[in-house]
Amino acid sequence: MTPEFALHIVKQALMMAFWIAAPMLVAAFAIGVFISLVQVLTSMQDSAFSTVPRLAAFLTALFLSLPWMLSQLLSYTTGIFGDLGRYAR
């Protein structure tokens, strides 16, 4: 295995982790920005008001994107295990 090939495998793993985490992070970010705007407009600075909706959005995004995430992880894992012979060289 050459160093370039090892870097390619690591790059694929990091990109897969990014794409798997992206739906939940985008949902939490969007709700966080919205809640922050509401807090600025209403001058309400309650920490529970910002935490609970963000957590709810994160969990909703997790449950909605879970089938897609599992299929992506399954195809990635199948590809990695399918190329084990190539990695051993």
Q: Give the range of the structural domain holding residue 15, as residue numbers without chain letter.
A: 3-88
What is the distance between the terminal CA atoms of the chain, rounded to a whole angstrom? 6
Q: Provide the domain count of the chain.
A: 1
Model confidence, pTM:
0.75
**57: buried, middle or exposed (CB in 10 Å: 19+, 13-18, 0-12)?**
buried
Q: Around Cβ 45, how many Cβ atoms within 10 Å?
A: 9
Per-residue pLDDT of the chain (89 residues; tens, 9 = 90+): 788 888 988 999 999 999 999 999 999 899 989 998 988 898 887 777 778 888 899 999 999 999 999 999 999 999 888 887 777 77
Tell how far CA 50 is from the center of its chain.
Answer: 21
Identify whether the C-beta of residue 69 lies closer than 8 Å to the C-beta of residue 20.
yes
